[in-house]
Chain A
Amino acid sequence: DIVMTQTPLSSPVTLGQPASISCRSSQSLVHSDGNTYLSWLQQRPGQPPRLLIYKISNRFSGVPDRFSGSGAGTDFTLKISRVEAEDVGVYYCMQATQFPETFGQGTKVEIK
C-alpha cells in the first residue's frame, strides 16, 4: 500500500498569515495514464470532508484562490496564502493512483 505522510500534524497560524502543509508518498503517484492522482481535502469541525485540490494543483469548483497545490512524484504541498477563520479544520492529502486509495494522517490548522 502507498503510505501518505503529512507534516506538520498541527499548524497554529495567525490570521492573515500563510500556512503550508507537506505530504510525502512512499512511492511515485504518477499513474500509467500520465496523471498524478493526488488530492487535498478539508474537514471543518463537525463537517464531512470537502475536496479542495485534485491532480496536484487543480482547484475544485468554489474553492478560493488562496488555496494552491504543487509538487510532483512523491512530494506535494498545500499552501494557504492568507489564513482566514473559516480555514480552521483538518487537512488531508489523498492518493487515488493505486488501490487501496490512502490518506495522510491529517494536519490540524488552528488559529493562534
Chain B
Amino acid sequence: EVQLVESGGGLVQPGRSLRLSCTASGFTFGDYAMSWVRQAPGKGLEWVGFIRSKAYGGTTEYAASVKGRFTISRDDSKSIAYLQMNSLKTEDTAVYYCTREAAAGLDYWGQGTLVTVSS
C-alpha cells in the first residue's frame, strides 16, 4: 500500500525557516517524481513545486510565489522528500501536502502537515 507521511509542520515566526519531510512507503520511491501542494485555510489548492526522479536528473520546478525561498530535495536511500522553506511569510500559512507524481497525475497524497507563520 502506497503511503506518504508528512512531518515537520508547526508554528514559526515570519522570516524564519522550517523543513518539512515526506516519508514514503509501499513503492520504489526513487522511480517517481514528487510534488508539494499547499492549501491555505479555507482556500483551494496551490502547487508549490516538484522534483524529478534521478533518472530524469532529479531537477526541480517551483511556483513563482516560492521560487528562491523554498527548496525541494530527496533522499532516495531513505525514501524521503524534503521541502526546505526559508524567509517564511504569513501568506505561506497552509496545510502542505506531499504527493506522488506519476503518469496518472498526482496519484497519491499524504494527510498533510499544517504550517502556521505568525508572530
Q: Which residues of A contact B (CB under 8 A)?
A: 1, 37, 39, 41, 43, 48-51, 54-55, 58, 60, 90, 92, 94, 96, 99-106
Contact = CB atoms under 8 A, between A and B. Distances in A.
Grouping DSSP codes into helix (H, G, I), strand (E, B) and loop, the B interface class, with mixed when no group exceeds half, is strand
Given A51-B108, A100-B64, 19 more contacts: A1-B64, A39-B106, A48-B109, A48-B112, A49-B37, A58-B104, A60-B104, A94-B105, A94-B106, A96-B101, A100-B47, A100-B61, A100-B62, A101-B47, A102-B47, A103-B45, A103-B47, A104-B44, A106-B45
Interface of B: 35, 37, 44-47, 50, 61-64, 97, 101, 103-112
A60 B2 CA distance: 14
29 contacts: A1-B64, A39-B105, A41-B45, A41-B106, A43-B45, A48-B97, A48-B110, A48-B112, A49-B37, A50-B109, A51-B104, A51-B105, A51-B109, A54-B103, A54-B107, A55-B105, A60-B104, A90-B44, A92-B45, A94-B45, A94-B105, A94-B106, A99-B50, A100-B47, A101-B47, A103-B44, A103-B46, A105-B44, A106-B44
Contacts of A103: 44-47
Contacts of B62: 100
Nearest to A50: B109
A101 B37 CA distance: 10
A49 B61 contact: no
A101 B111 contact: no
Nearest to A104: B44
Given A48-B97, A48-B112, A92-B44, A101 B107 contact: no
